[in-house]
Amino acid sequence: MVMRIVRQVLQEQQHSARRLYIIFEDSFDVRYDTFLRSLTGDYEICAVVPDHWLGSPLAQRITASCTCCKLIGRTASVNLSAADSLTVYPVASRSGIVKAALGICDTFETRWFQRCLSAGAEVRIVLSGLEPFTGNEPEPYRERILSYYRILLTYDVWIGSWDPREEVPDARFQALPGENHDTLRVPAACVSGRQIITAADAAGYAAGSKVSIPEGTIITALAQERAAEKDIQFVTR
């Protein structure tokens, strides 16, 4: 009787747990191991991997690092629903970041990214999984790449910690690869000299407040929704 009750409780918890999708790139990176070990059973975890990984030592490596993780091949993932889910990219290549920012969907990773945006699903990119600069790049190239990261912020994509429970004030604006630590620790991101207010910013404003913003400030669609829910008014100065 006790075991039956325990199983029922576990089933109910699994049913109510939020779906967490982990998107793997074509090549395995050791940073996946660290990320997988940080996961808990608080989520219904689905690792979406290349089809040829299934049944391979890589699949065994993933399940060994996260025993509560379910592996799904890319082909089978077309039947998954992105609605009300959280997608995490533990490792994101520079080319993948650029394509996602520009809306180029010619890889599985960028097509999944588009699915999430279309479904209004939350997307998080782990900061430690981004490709760092070597320091030898020309400054214009470096700034152009950083601009693509900032574009993703306008899509309400979170760059930082993967776990929403670990959010801290201004966590969204941690320094990106190659930037000084304080570069993005500001009340709103900035793209091409224009300030951007995201849903994360709106969540931090008091309900019923009036927020003074510079002329030309970009307010993302989700930020506008959150502001309307809290009766927040943006006043251009």
Residue 190 has pLDDT above 70, yes or no: no
pLDDT band at 42 (very low <50, low <70, confident <90, very high): confident
Burial zone of 179 (CB within 10 Å; 0-12 exposed, 13-18 middle, 19+ buried): middle
Cβ atoms of 179 and 190 closer than 8 Å: no
**Count of helix runs (H) and strand runs (E) in the chain:** 8, 11
Cβ atoms of 175 and 198 closer than 8 Å: no
State what percent of residues in the chain have pLDDT above 90: 43
Q: Which amino acid is at 133?
A: F
pLDDT (average), residues 165-185: 43
pLDDT (average), residues 78-100: 94
pLDDT (average), residues 175-181: 47
State what percent of residues in the chain have pLDDT above 70: 80
Cβ atoms of 133 and 178 closer than 8 Å: yes
Domains, the chain, with CATH or none: 18-185 (3.40.50.1950), 188-237 (no CATH)
Q: Give the separation between CA 14 and CA 18, rounded to whole angstroms.
A: 8
pLDDT digit string, tens, across residues 12-34 = 544 457 899 999 999 999 999 99
Residue 180 has pLDDT above 60, yes or no: no
pLDDT of residue 176: 54
More confident residue, 162 or 51: 51
Segment among 52-56, 137-141, 194-198, 231-235 with least mean pLDDT: 194-198
- Is-above-0.85 flag for pTM? no
Q: Give the separation between CA 222 and CA 122, rounded to whole angstroms.
A: 11
pLDDT of residue 172: 42
pLDDT of residue 186: 32
The rounded mean pLDDT for the chain is: 82
Cβ atoms of 79 and 103 closer than 8 Å: no
pLDDT digit string, tens, across residues 97-132 = 999 999 999 999 999 999 999 999 999 999 889 988
pLDDT band at 225 (very low <50, low <70, confident <90, very high): confident
pLDDT of residue 41: 73
